[in-house]
Structure 1
């Protein structure tokens, strides 16, 4: 009887062991490594120096004002284009204006000298704006950093920098305004003031595979 009991206990123990093997977990080798990743956005930071391009008084018909300023990319991203928007208000000193003062202020040119390069040798300037009034310019959005030089200046290597404005770079700009003398009575503009706002809107370059 003792033998049967011992044999039965042995069989039970063996069965329990098989159950543990069948339903339990196995130990195995493993290893893990973490990666630290960062997505940092770049910056577009355009500035204009000086911030006031024109501040002149006592203008009379026939006067021309020439000024220079810089467009500066202080950001970490390249700029593909800089659109120029124009708006202005007129202070009618005597309240007798029959015409818009902006029609009598002409932008003779707005040149990007860095895009011109040596093009002046053959008379090919990079005039972003040429011969238009402030009144008409309100409906235009020219790109101030586009290289407009002709095929021949490009072929001769005289075309200056490529379009756009790289991070950390600047473009030298020249502009001329004329109070047009139309040969007629312009007395209505005596004492008037025109407040011009030029807004330079910078745009990023296209996305790329990084």
Structure 2
């Protein structure tokens, strides 16, 4: 083996020994801190309670043209987040007892008025029919918008609003015998929408 090769081999061996010794004896200061963070999503939770035993907004029988029915119900925000909007979806199904409606729709003859009391005076804030309400575009179904006049107050977490609704079987001064014995099953769905983004 040449002297250059022997010299190179010796330098490599020495470097390896030094690195092994240094690796075993090297010491340093150290400090560790662990920080745990939490992202917890809030909840949107509303419920609607009527004044009937079964919490229905309205259950009524034996109505006739000209009758009016006023009912109150509570819209409760039981979640942890404020609600900006509550969109109302209305659906109904008519049972035609005598099969003689001939295209007549009982929902078209039931007027709906959402009422509010201002300074002891009852005011109509939104008026429609069940038929129109069941086919209305989403932008026109914001119950809180009707209640607060389109303001952004919304429904705060842990609070309730009392709503009053008046139904009327409209007497159109014409023959409405086709509706005798009929019934209408009404389903209202209240869809809560969150408020806008915030800096937390």
Q: Same fold by TM-score, threshold 0.5 exceeded?
A: yes
**Aligned counterpart, 1:20:** 18
State the superposition RMSD in angstroms. Answer: 2.6
Matches within 5 A, 1:171-210: 171-210=161-200
| Shift, 1:120, TM fit | 3.8
Aligned 8 A contact 1:126 1:148 in 2: no
Structure 1 runs not aligned, ≥5 long: 1-11, 150-160
Aligned counterpart in structure 2 of residue 106 of structure 1, from 111, 115, 118: 111
- Answering whether residue 80 of structure 2 is matched by residue 76 of structure 1, we say yes
**Aligned counterpart, 1:157:** none
**Aligned counterpart, 2:130:** 134
Aligned 8 A contact 1:72 1:170 in 2: yes
Give the SS at the match of 1:72: strand
1:53-105 deviation digits (Å, cap 9, x = unpaired): 01000000000000000000001111110001111000000000021111100
The count of residues paired between Structure 1 and Structure 2 equals 177
Structure 2 runs not aligned, ≥5 long: 1-9
Give the SS at the match of 1:47: strand
**Aligned counterpart, 2:47:** 47
1:26-69 deviation digits (Å, cap 9, x = unpaired): 32111001111122111111001123001000000000000000
Give the SS at the match of 1:178: strand
Matches within 5 A, 1:55-94: 55-94=59-98
TM-score under structure 1 length normalisation: 0.76
Q: Which runs of 4+ in 1 moved over 6 A?
A: none
TM-score under structure 2 length normalisation: 0.79
- Answering whether residue 149 of structure 2 is matched by residue 148 of structure 1, we say yes
User: 1:181, 1:171 → 2: CA distance?
Assistant: 31
Instruction: Identify if the C-alpha distance between structure 1 residues 176 and 18 changes in structure 2 by more than 3 Å, giving closer, same or farther.
Output: closer
User: 1:84, 1:163 → 2: CA distance?
Assistant: 18
